[in-house]
Amino acid sequence: MTTIETSGKGRGPVGDTSSAGPRPVSPDVMAMRRRDQRRKWREIAIFTGPGLILFALFVVFPVASAARYSLYKWNGVKKFSDAEFIGFENYARALWGGNDPATRQAFKTAYTEPFWQAMSHNLLIIVASMAVQLPLALIIALVLNRKFPGRSIVRVIIFAPYVISEVIAGVMWFIIFDPNGIATQFMESIGLHAPSGGWFESQTWGIWTVFFIVTWKYLGLAIILFLAGLSGVPQELQEAAAIDGASWWQIQRRINIPLIGPTIRIWVFLSLIGSIQLFDMVWVLNRGGTQGQYSTIATFMMQYGYFRKDVGFGSAIAVIMFLISLIVAIAYMLTILRKDNDNAELARGN
Amino acid sequence: MTATLNDAPPQAPAEPTSTRSANSASRGKFDSSTLLAIFVGLVAIALTLGPILYLIVGGFRSQQNLATNPTGLPDPWMWANYADILKDSTFWRQSLNSLIVALGTTIGVVLFGTMAAYPLARYRFKGRELVYLVFVTGLMFPLTVAVLPLYFMIRSLGLTGSLWGLIVPQIAFALPITVIIMRPFLRAIPRELEEAAFVDGVTRVGFFWRVVLPLARPGMITVGVLAFIGSWNAYLLPLLLLTGPQTGMTLPLGVTAFQGQHASATTLIMAYTSLSMVPALIFFLLLERRIVDGLTGAVKG
């Protein structure tokens, strides 16, 4: 121990002298310590510096810029210094049609209604994910959580859609759900009628079709995550319960589901954040529909902020989206995930 | 987080024994719940692969065949769709662009992310947890929120249309998750190794290159694979930045551009989409274990 410390760069002698009783630290040692400190900070800067600079320049600064742009009327073409400062008018337009009574009615139609339409779609995706995807993935994972022939191949294939890009999934299903496509023909062949005007254009079915595609792409992730959680549940618990005469469903409900609670709660969190930010797939599917039948906050933001060159308004939408994500994330972490973390700390013996 | 990542290895060997005991406890080889599992597995495979196969096979159809008999096999099998795309350099250029961007992003993320995580894992200094917290909050900053200002920024740098304009922001946005995943890996490297290395006169920086990087390889592969997939599939940033000719686009953007251009030739779009899916699927099959472990590890952590 002492040998290592004495030959270790610069910090050895200090430890050594302490064993010889209290003695004033010599100026030599002080200088050494200072040099040591400087060296340490230099290394920290070399290692963490590049990452931190990249992060500040390309993540923090743009997000801060979005907050700044959101207070201006700017088309992104002329210089930003010539843009007109309009305070929170962009936010007001999105939320209730703006503060000027003369234009409020027109702005309500142009900004407020499509905004709330998009918001309602995100909300629907969130609720439907919890109500449909969660139980479905959980049941499939519980059923698949055993040894059976072909188990590993099933797991690989189930997970594959997660790796395919949203763009490809979107284009693929767009062709399948074409008004004259195979989905329509299949429905007709079993005597049902596809929505007139096509699946996506329908005011009722458009968003549900998108939800179906989202489910196709992301259900596998949920199943695989749950299966990974289930593999950590001690087998003895289930066997003991089975010996005591518990049914399959009782074992799942009393043992397996509670024990993978942390995994489920993390999935819920990922799903919430993903649903709020849903963009690629919806954009590929006709930019959220000809009348925004399945628009989301993100596609709404791009539509206005980029393609209609209303950068200030688009930035306001971006900030609103950011605040929603942030509030959801913090609230979820403080209430639900904190419990899991506390439990993990306990398990760690802290 | 440290605990969960450390827990992961012991779980794996526990699995085979537990499933074996479950099997011996069951009555026959195929009891009803095994049959149910097989059935559910088959349905899941059909629902997952069905649309993908429909797409790939659709690429072999003539437009007329798709309209009249979309459920049967193509008659005749038309190779021209795939052949035309593969003969055209656009598809290859887009694949190359995607590959360059994905590799550049991956290398940058792994390098800068591991470097940034190293002092956060192994040094004691004032403000360490604050720096870590900055990266953690970065998870809450989605690209979608930053994309408009990012676009103007890159435009003013004159980097629209350049692949660098994509790579650098993508690295920055992947850093938070990388730092979060890497820190426990770097922490787990034993102190004794460090001390022994210093005895031998290795500097901290030398220690990082010669000891830390090789030992942290599993973690680096995990974050690397996640970064690669994320970049390969990225759409939003390319949509804003690569507005030039189609040969300058990445594959996802190329697919939508192709779709817009050949709106009436559905089977040609099917072929193009299928082809652009192939690299991702191959990559996935090769690294399936890594991807799944990485994701479940990241989620547990």
The H-or-E segment that residue B54 falls in is helix B32-58
Above 90 in pLDDT, residue A137?
Answer: yes
What is the pLDDT, as a whole number, of residue A123? Answer: 96
pLDDT grade for B273, boundaries at 50, 70 and 90: very high
Whole-angstrom Cα distance, residue B176 to residue A54?
A: 11
- Per-residue pLDDT, averaged over A160-181, amounts to 90
pLDDT grade for A350, boundaries at 50, 70 and 90: very low
Residues of A in contact with B280 (CB under 8 A): 163-165, 168
> Please, is A293 exposed, middle or buried when counting C-beta atoms within 10 Å of its C-beta (0-12, 13-18, 19+)?
buried
Contacts of residue A186, defined as CB under 8 A and 6 or more positions apart, other chains included, come to B71
Q: Which of A161, A162, A139, A347 is nearest to A227 (CA)?
A: A139
Identify the closest residue of chain A to B253 by CA–CA distance: A167
Higher pLDDT, A2 or B287: B287
Residues of A in contact with B196 (CB under 8 A): 4
Above 90 in pLDDT, residue A341?
Answer: no
Please give the C-alpha separations between residue A170 and each of A209, A235, B31, in angstroms, as whole numbers.
11, 40, 39
The shortest CB-CB distance from A165 to any of B23, B55, B235 is to: B235
pLDDT tens digits, A152-170 = 899 889 999 998 999 999 9
Least confident among A20-24, A176-180, A277-281: A20-24
A176–B54: do the CB atoms touch at under 8 Å? Answer: yes
What is the pLDDT, as a whole number, of residue B116? Answer: 92
pLDDT grade for A19, boundaries at 50, 70 and 90: very low
Whole-angstrom Cα distance, residue A7 to residue B134?
A: 36
Above 80 in pLDDT, residue A3?
Answer: no
The shortest CB-CB distance from A43 to any of B11, B38, B204 is to: B204
The H-or-E segment that residue B177 falls in is helix B164-187
B235–A57: do the CB atoms touch at under 8 Å? Answer: no
Mean pLDDT of chain A: 85
Whole-angstrom Cα distance, residue B33 to residue A147?
A: 10
- Per-residue pLDDT, averaged over A68-93, amounts to 89
Whole-angstrom Cα distance, residue B171 to residue B62?
A: 42
User: Which of B114, B145, B159 to mutate against chain A (most A CBs within 10 Å)?
Assistant: B145
What is the pLDDT, as a whole number, of residue A149? Answer: 87
- Per-residue pLDDT, averaged over B249-261, amounts to 92
> Please, is B144 exposed, middle or buried when counting C-beta atoms within 10 Å of its C-beta (0-12, 13-18, 19+)?
buried
B37–A69: do the CB atoms touch at under 8 Å? Answer: no
Higher pLDDT, A32 or A175: A175
Above 60 in pLDDT, residue A9?
Answer: no
Tokens linked to B136: 């953690």
The H-or-E segment that residue B72 falls in is none
Mean pLDDT of chain B: 83
Contacts of residue A145, defined as CB under 8 A and 6 or more positions apart, other chains included, come to A227, A230, A231, A256
- Per-residue pLDDT, averaged over B264-287, amounts to 88
Above 90 in pLDDT, residue A120?
Answer: yes
Q: Extract long-range pairs of A122-125: CB within 8 Å, 24+ residues apart.
A: A122/A275, A122/A276, A122/A278, A122/A296, A122/A297, A124/A207, A124/A211, A125/A207, A125/A210, A125/A211, A125/A214, A125/A275, A125/A278, A125/A296
pLDDT tens digits, B104-160 = 999 999 999 999 998 888 888 888 888 888 888 887 788 899 999 999 999 999 888
pLDDT tens digits, B26-49 = 445 568 888 899 999 999 999 999
**CATH superfamily of the B2-14+89-300 domain:** MetI-like (1.10.3720.10)
Q: Does B132 touch chain A (CB under 8 A)?
A: no
Give the B window 165-224 contacts with A, CB below 8 Å.
168-169, 171-173, 175-176, 179, 195-196, 198-199, 203-205, 208
Above 80 in pLDDT, residue A182?
Answer: yes
Higher pLDDT, A17 or A113: A113
Contacts of residue B132, defined as CB under 8 A and 6 or more positions apart, other chains included, come to B120, B179, B183
pLDDT tens digits, A226-283 = 998 898 888 888 888 888 888 888 888 888 888 888 889 889 988 998 999 999 999 9
What is the pLDDT, as a whole number, of residue A247? Answer: 85
Identify the closest residue of chain B to A316 by CA–CA distance: B145
Least confident among A8-22, A232-246, B73-87: A8-22
Q: Does B55 touch chain A (CB under 8 A)?
A: yes
pLDDT tens digits, B49-65 = 999 999 999 999 988 88
The shortest CB-CB distance from B229 to any of A80, A163, A228 is to: A163
Above 60 in pLDDT, residue A34?
Answer: yes
What is the pLDDT, as a whole number, of residue A24? Answer: 64
Identify the closest residue of chain A to B195 by CA–CA distance: A4
pLDDT grade for A346, boundaries at 50, 70 and 90: low
Identify the closest residue of chain B to A274 by CA–CA distance: B142
Whole-angstrom Cα distance, residue A298 to residue B143?
A: 10
What is the pLDDT, as a whole number, of residue A66? Answer: 93
What is the pLDDT, as a whole number, of residue B216? Answer: 85
pLDDT grade for A331, boundaries at 50, 70 and 90: confident
- Per-residue pLDDT, averaged over A98-121, amounts to 91
User: Which of B73, B148, B191 to mutate against chain A (most A CBs within 10 Å)?
Assistant: B148
CA of B111 vs chain A CAs: smallest distance (Å)? 9
Higher pLDDT, B171 or A191: B171
Whole-angstrom Cα distance, residue A165 to residue A157?
A: 15
Residue-by-residue DSSP string for B111-131: HHHHHHHHHHHH---TTHHHH
Whole-angstrom Cα distance, residue A221 to residue B291?
A: 11
Residues of B in contact with A153 (CB under 8 A): 45
CA of B295 vs chain A CAs: smallest distance (Å)? 8
Identify the closest residue of chain B to A228 by CA–CA distance: B296
Above 60 in pLDDT, residue B3?
Answer: no
3-state SS string for chain A: CHHHHHHCCCCHHHHHHHCCCCCCCCHHHHHHHHHHHHHHHHHHHHHHHHHHHHHHHHHHHHHHHHHHHCCEECCCCCCHHHCEECCCHHHHHHHHCCCCHHHHHHHHHHHHHHHHHHHHHHHHHHHHHHHHHHHHHHHHHHHHCCCCCCHHHHHHHHHHHHHCCHHHHHHHHHHHCCCCCHHHHHHHHCCCCCCCCCCCCCCCHHHHHHHHHHHHHHHHHHHHHHHHHHCCCCHHHHHHHHHCCCCHHHHHHHHHHHHCHHHHHHHHHHHHHHHHHCCHHHHHCHHHCCCCCCCCHHHHHHHHHHHCCCHHHHHHHHHHHHHHHHHHHHHHHHHHHHHHHHHHHHHHCC
Whether the Cβ atoms of residue A63 and residue B146 lie closer than 8 Å to each other: yes
A62–B146: do the CB atoms touch at under 8 Å? Answer: yes
Neighbour count for residue A304 (Cβ, 10 Å): 24
The shortest CB-CB distance from B171 to any of A54, A143, A306 is to: A54
Cα–chain center distance at B127: 32
Higher pLDDT, A47 or B67: A47
Least confident among A212-226, B86-100, B190-204: B190-204
pLDDT tens digits, A299-314 = 999 999 999 999 999 9
Above 90 in pLDDT, residue A87?
Answer: no
Q: Does B147 touch chain A (CB under 8 A)?
A: yes
Tokens 């809450």 map to which residue? B140
Above 50 in pLDDT, residue A221?
Answer: yes
Whether the Cβ atoms of residue A262 and residue A274 lie closer than 8 Å to each other: no
